[in-house]
Structure 1
Amino acid sequence: MLSIIYYFVFNIFIGDYIKYSCIVPADASFQVYRDNFIFFVKVFYYFRYFLFCFIIVIRLFYVKNKFFRWLIKKICYFA
């Protein structure tokens, strides 16, 4: 269920915003709003990579292998 929400939100909606953001008029009055909008969308677009890595780390926490749990605890301790 989480993967379906992740797919729709980050791949379809935000990906479409980045594709169609270039259609916004580039007049002087719209330039500031267009740049801010594209920056805001790119932040959320690249946030999906952080979310993906975060989900992998959370899944590794539940691995029963003691080596992975020990490794993640050491990484989080030194980070």
Structure 2
Amino acid sequence: MTRPGTGHLAFGSGVHVCAGAAIARLEAETLLKALASRIRTLTPAGPPVHRPHNVLRAMAHLPLRATPSGTGPSL
């Protein structure tokens, strides 16, 4: 608990799997479903920022603007 963070956010695997991995995945799924039900459209709010990597092309940031669907609580 006192060591500095490394920025690694994976859940691990095998004997090193995170004890909270299943609940974290369930929470993320619930959040994304609730959010998707309240959004009509997503549009770019700026250019994507890519991570420098030789093998895997991935984004570090993807700014988006959400337009509420009009159902449920406001965003």
TM-score w.r.t. length of structure 2: 0.31
Report which of the two structures shows the higher radius of gyration computed on alpha carbons. Answer: 1
Which has the larger helix fraction?
1
Asked which structure has the greater RCO (Cα within 8 Å, sep 6+), the reply is: 2
Which has the larger strand fraction?
2
